Structure 1
Amino acid sequence: MSGAPTVSVWRQPMRVWAVAFACVVAFMGIGLVDPILPAIAEQLQASPVETELLFTSYLLVTGLAMLITSFVSSRIGAKATLLIGLGLILVFALLCALSGSVDAVIGFRAGWGLGNALFISTALATIVGAASGGSGAAIVLYEAALGLGIAIGPLLGGLLGSVSWRGPFFGVALLMAIAFIGVSVLLRGGDEKRVPTRLGDPIRALGRPALALLAVAALFYNIGFFVLLAFSPFPLGFDALGIGLTFFGWGLALAISSVWVAPVLTRRMSRTTTLLAVLPLLALDLVAAGLFVQTPAALVAFIVAGGFVLGIVNTVLTESVMEATDLPRSVASSAYSAVRFLGGAAAPPIAALLWHLYGPTVPYLFAAASVVIAVIVIAFGRSRLVVADTREADAADQGAAVLVGDAA
């Protein structure tokens, strides 16, 4: 046994806390809009399909921007990339709050997505580089920030949204301003090592069969994810606070399972086996949500249960990406995220359209069918994914899995 003193994960330099706080705020953006979707549709005279485009523009730009974030950060440095990302989120959140039409909010959410991509692609590496106690302590701290953000986002959105649909956007702008000042003052940027990457590296990475298979599976899985997250506020029929509390439970379940349950499962069975066991549970949960969509209490239960399953799949699927090739993590995650976010971008408006045409059950059945396709892709491509099962993830891989998996 070594006699070296143990450094507490909670005793960190102020620059680490500044980035961790920014992480909390950035991840709040995942569920922040959820509680105010019905209010935006009503007060801005927008259809559900138009309202769901708030997710589409955000996710589409986030995914496409992921293709260039490693190129940008490897040249201008982590601090500059973080500050540009935070600044863009601040500006576009404020513009969303000041908007007078749903089209304007959709456009400004796209700018928010660009800032989000720049920030989340750099945050974990920054915390690991600045934290005391090694990468393991840094990742615990990052996971705590991530869990807080995912759970608090819908709750804050519900609380502020019960006053006005503009409230959550003003709230994010204020918190991002605080985070921007903290990072700019406390984080040093001159001593970091930069390894430039080529602009086309993520595109070329998709030529790797294992990575391509996982990206396609994630595209269909993300349809299920975002139907549950982005469509469910409409059939729930709750006010903003009720929706916020529902998705606070969803976010809490997702954070717990991604951080604690997923590692337990992957220590007992292979990653592909875990995915093939858990993804069908998500499909069944979505079918049940569709069948009981007219019963609010049951729908709430299936939303929260779905969050628990989503957390496991997010972490295991993205950890598989990290281990399936010998590519740099930043390149692999950029390529993977660009493809999977396409599913997230398409799902909300398609779900709203199916609701309009066929009723509230069909969007959930559509989501369940998409998840089944993800299962089929993994099952038939399993021989190409052997390396994802045989390689052990180190602490940085696990942290990157949580980062990329939950940044949707």
Structure 2
Amino acid sequence: MHAKPSATPKGGGILRQPTSVWATAFAAVVAFMGIGLVDPILPAIAANLDASPSQVSLLFTSYFLITAVAMLVTGWVSSRIGGRRTLLIGLAIVVAFAALAGTSGTVGQLVGFRAGWGLGNALFVATALAVIVGAASGGAGGDPEGAGDRPPSKGKRGAESAIILYEAALGIGISLGPLAGALLGDMNWRFPFFGTAALMAVGFLLIATLLKPTPKPAEKTRLSAPIRALAHGGLSTTAFTALFYNYAFFTILAFTPFVLGMSAHGIGLVFFGWGVMVALASVFGAPVLQRRIGTVRVMYLALGLLIVFQLGLAFLGHGGIIACTVLSGIPIGLNNTAFTEAAMEVSDSPRPVASAGYNFVRWMGGALAPYIATRLAEEVDANLPYVVGAACCAVAIGILAVRRRHLEPLERVDIDHTFQDAPAAA
């Protein structure tokens, strides 16, 4: 007699999740707030610390470079101490370095503290996705196949809902980050860092009290596992396509505040609207389009739209820049969900391992874009960063087209979901 499943109620709805999933999702919202938190205060940081835009852009570069490299050890750590402890260690590191960032006296110190923040972010973000997917699909802390006696289709559907929830947390965090940065930064550019430290401390307490200890995997993850996982054609195709996409994504996020020429409140409101578009497209737009046209075609569509908006940012006036910034959240939201699901489904590696390998490659785009974009604007032309971003999207489309055969497993998953969602015959 099968045990009654308790993780995700029947139907696998996105809102029907265990308390532990919601606690982890809240902490994820705050973690993702840290990405866009500095957007509205970049000009203020440059002015107060006597730094150039390219020097200030290193706040993103150090953060994402350390995040990317640290992704390679997240699975090794979590497989030895468990997902819950890894989450708590990551949150504790973020709390410490976010608070230290608020005490910085030079841009060099701030860049260094953001690097430490990136280490904690890597431990938390990679493990949070595995914990959310595992708990929502009936597994325990990132079991790649779902619960033991749950039907596989329900495990996959639960995982799909959990990924959408994770991307919703990303969208909400990215949208609230600039707003919080503007409100707190208007009083003092240091306050957003202290505010993030306080919110992450709340997330730490929620995880500590609401998330039960997750069992360790039967086999410990090797340090080389994420790199070895990238030998899979589907995962490497997804990862390197996402690298070029993320370059375009973070060109908008890190460079546009200097182009807008607005106050902290103005920049915060623009990127709040952008983040709302990211969240709506991630949660509502991507699942519908994936069922109708398939995950790979969603990537093509979103990358094509992002090219249009990047060129709009390059050649339109001030009003067009604001509109294109906000609307670019739509293809970014579509792609965030499509790429994350693809990375989780396309290979036969355990989800935490696939996530680590995928994130190692794709976050390199987030590390490179801010510094290169600002240097191109300083040395050549202010429009060039967006032209390069559009070119990166074109390269991403080319990778998808040339290596399409490696993504055939995604088409089978899409077909499976379509049949599951079809109404029963009369």
Normalised TM-score (structure 1)? 0.88
Please report how far the alpha carbon of residue 124 of structure 1 lies from its aligned counterpart in structure 2 after TM superposition: 3.5
Counterpart position of 1:359? 381
Q: 1:301 aligns with which of 299, 323, 346?
A: 323
Q: What does 1:1-400 correspond to in 2, within 5 Å?
A: 15-127=20-132, 135=158, 142=166, 144-189=168-213, 195-292=219-316, 295-392=317-414
Which segment is superposed worse, 123-132 or 27-36? 123-132
* 80-89 vs 124-133, which moves further: 124-133
- Structure 1 residues 58 and 394 mapped into 2: Cα distance closer, same or farther (>3 Å)? farther
TM-fit CA distance, 1:170 = 0.6
Residue 129 of structure 1 and its aligned partner are, at CA, apart by 5.5
Q: Which deviations, in whole Å up to 9, do the C-alpha atoms of 1:42-71 show, x marking residues without a partner?
A: 110111111001000111111111111011
Q: CA deviation at 1:320?
A: 2.2
Residues 92-124 of structure 1, C-alpha deviations (whole Å, 9 max, x = no match): 000100010101111111111111111111223
Q: Is the 8 A contact 2:291 2:414 kept in 1?
A: no
Q: Cα offset for 1:157?
A: 0.7
CA distance in 1, matches of 2:185, 2:235: 40
Task: Call closer, same or farther: CA 1:13–1:331 in 2, change over 3 Å.
Answer: closer
| CA 1:382–1:290: 2 relative to 1, 3 Å | same
Q: Which runs of 5+ in 1 are unaligned?
A: 396-408
CA contact (8 A) 1:321 1:388 kept: no
Change beyond 3 A, Cα 1:313–1:185: closer
Paired with 1:231 and 1:283, the residues of 2 have a C-alpha distance of 16
Give CA deviations for 1:166-188 in whole Å, capped at 9, x if unaligned: 11101001111222223223333
The 3 A distance-change label for structure 1 pair 6 and 276 is: closer
Q: CA RMSD for the aligned pairs?
A: 2.5
Distance in 2 between residues matched to 1:334 and 1:284, nearest whole Å = 31
Once the two structures are TM-superposed, the CA of residue 210 in structure 1 deviates from its matched residue by: 2.4
Q: Distance in 2 between matches of 1:339 and 1:191?
A: 28
Q: Deviations over 1:22-50 (max 9, x none)?
A: 12211111211111111111110111111
Q: What residue number does 2:423 align with?
A: none
Code of the residue aligned with 1:177 in structure 2: it is A
Query: Which amino acid is the alignment partner of residue 183 of structure 1?
Result: I
Task: Name whichever of 243-252 and 122-131 sits farther off.
Answer: 122-131
Aligned residues: 390
Moved more, 184-193 or 351-360: 184-193
Deviation at 1:144, TM superposition (A): 4.8
What letter matches 1:152 in structure 2?
L
Segments of 5+ residues of structure 2 without an aligned counterpart are 1-5, 139-154, 418-426
Which residue identity is paired with 2:254? A
2:164–2:282 Cα contact (<8 Å) kept: no
1:264–1:9 CA distance, 2 compared to 1 (3 A): closer
- 3-state DSSP class of the match of 1:34? coil
Is the 1:20–1:145 contact (alpha carbons within 8 Å) kept by the matching residues of 2?
yes
Superposed CA offset, 1:336-378 (max 9, x none): 1111111110111111111112221111111111111111111
Distance between the aligned counterparts of 1:274 and 1:10, measured in 2? 24
1:126 is displaced (CA, Å) by 3.1
Instruction: Please report the TM-score for the alignment, with normalisation by the length of structure 2.
Output: 0.85
CA contact (8 A) 1:22 1:179 kept: yes
- Displacement after TM superposition at 1:195 (Å): 4.1
Question: Separation in 1 of the partners of 2:416 and 2:84?
Answer: 25
Residues 321 and 179 from structure 1, CA distance in 2 versus in 1: closer, same or farther, beyond 3 angstroms? Answer: closer
Q: How many Å separate the matches in 2 of 1:41 and 1:92?
A: 20
Between the aligned partners of 2:214 and 2:236, the Cα distance in structure 1 is 36
The one-letter amino acid paired with 1:264 is: V
> Structure 2: which amino acid aligns with 1:124?
L
Q: 2: distance between equivalents of 1:312 and 1:196? A: 34
Quick check: 1:258–1:312 contact (8 Å CA) kept in 2? yes
Q: Identical aligned pairs, as a percentage?
A: 51
CA distance in 1, matches of 2:404, 2:21: 39
C-alpha distance in 1 between matches for 2:210 and 2:16:
16
Q: Give the structure 2 partner of residue 406 of structure 1.
A: none
CA pair 352-372 structure 1, distance change in 2 beyond 3 A: same
* Structure-1 separation of matches of 2:203 and 2:187: 24
Deviates further, 105-114 or 119-128: 119-128
Deviation at 1:6, TM superposition (A): 6.5
Distance 2:217 2:387 in 1: 48
Q: Secondary structure at the match of 2:40?
A: helix
Letter in 2 for 1:248: F
